[in-house]
Amino acid sequence: MAITGAAERLVSTPFIRLSEVAKTYPSRGETVVHAVERVSVDIAQSEFTSIVGPSGCGKTTLLNMIGGLLPVSSGQIRYEGLKDGRKLPQLGMVFQDAVLLPWRTVLENVMLPIEVAGVDRNEGQHRARELIGLVGLEGFEGRYPHELSGGMQQRASIARALVNDPSLLLMDEPFGALDALTRENMSLELQRIWHSSKKTVLFITHSIAESVFLSDRVLVMTARPSRVREIIDIDLPRPRTLQMTTDESFTRYVAHIRDLLSATAAM
């Protein structure tokens, strides 16, 4: 098992480089909330990285800073290899809660990034329908968000995040609202999508097994203010199968991450 203890770790072709990134939120009263403290990590192109850590430790904050939705308080986030002086790569985001526009149907919601990007409508619609099928929502294209369950809404938001074929996919607990079986199927699908498209994925989850199943690397965060406690290389063959989740090599990773998290919680 290849485990690197250092928070700072260099990868051969960094795509995203976080240097000493920190975030403090203003808070009522005098004190500020230190959500993220000095996180330095390199993410390689096409790498699948999961982020796990206790609730409230700053995972969403970190992802939102990487996605450019939230300014860093200090430190730097750099994207390497972008042309035209672009600050951010083409990215797709799946938020912790599905944020669909209530007045738009499933198809219209999934089409939104295509309309914003000005892509050809027919081509875009073909891709949107394909993705709606992929996330198991075929037949629901014309439904409105309030007519869907929470899990179905989340699946629509996953299709929306993929529709522009982003090079970077940021996913914040995307499967949290799904039942166990759908969750497993979505994990398999996400692995397939990742494998065929070679996107760089950052994936927050509270499921340790899910992080091991999907990832090249798992970032274990400490409790707030969050730092990288350990980066674990998941050295398991791909494609991963559900059968593998009971293998000793798999369960050893799960046990190790669980130990790290419970040690963090006890601190």
Ligand X SMILES: Nc1ncnc2c1ncn2[C@@H]1O[C@H](COP(=O)(O)OP(=O)(O)OP(=O)(O)O)[C@@H](O)[C@H]1O
* Closest approach of ligand X to the CB of residue 240, in Å: 24
DSSP string, 234-259: ----SS--GGGGGSHHHHHHHHHHHH
59 makes contact with ligand X (CB under 6 A): yes
Q: Which does 33 bind (CB under 5 to 8 A by kind): ligand X, Mg ion, none?
A: ligand X
58 makes contact with ligand X (CB under 6 A): yes
Q: Which residue has the tokens 């403090």?
A: 24
150 makes contact with ligand X (CB under 6 A): no
The answer to whether 203 and 215 are in contact (CB under 8 A) is: yes
Q: Which does 25 bind (CB under 5 to 8 A by kind): ligand X, Mg ion, none?
A: ligand X
207 makes contact with Mg ion (CB under 5 A): no
The answer to whether 17 and 80 are in contact (CB under 8 A) is: yes
Selected from 49, 50, 61, 191, the binder of ligand X by CB under 6 A is 61
Contacts of residue 152, Cβ cutoff 8 Å, sequence gap at least 6? 137, 140
* Closest approach of ligand X to the CB of residue 139, in Å: 32
**Residue closer to Mg ion (CB basis): 14 or 53:** 53
Selected from 40, 45, 49, 60, the binder of Mg ion by CB under 5 A is 60
Through-space distance between the first and last CA atoms of the chain, rounded to whole angstroms: 25
| CA pair distance 39, 7, nearest whole angstrom | 8
Q: Using CB under 5 A, list all residues that contact Mg ion.
A: 60
Q: What residues make contact with ligand X under the rule CB under 6 A?
A: 25, 33, 35, 53, 55-61, 96, 224
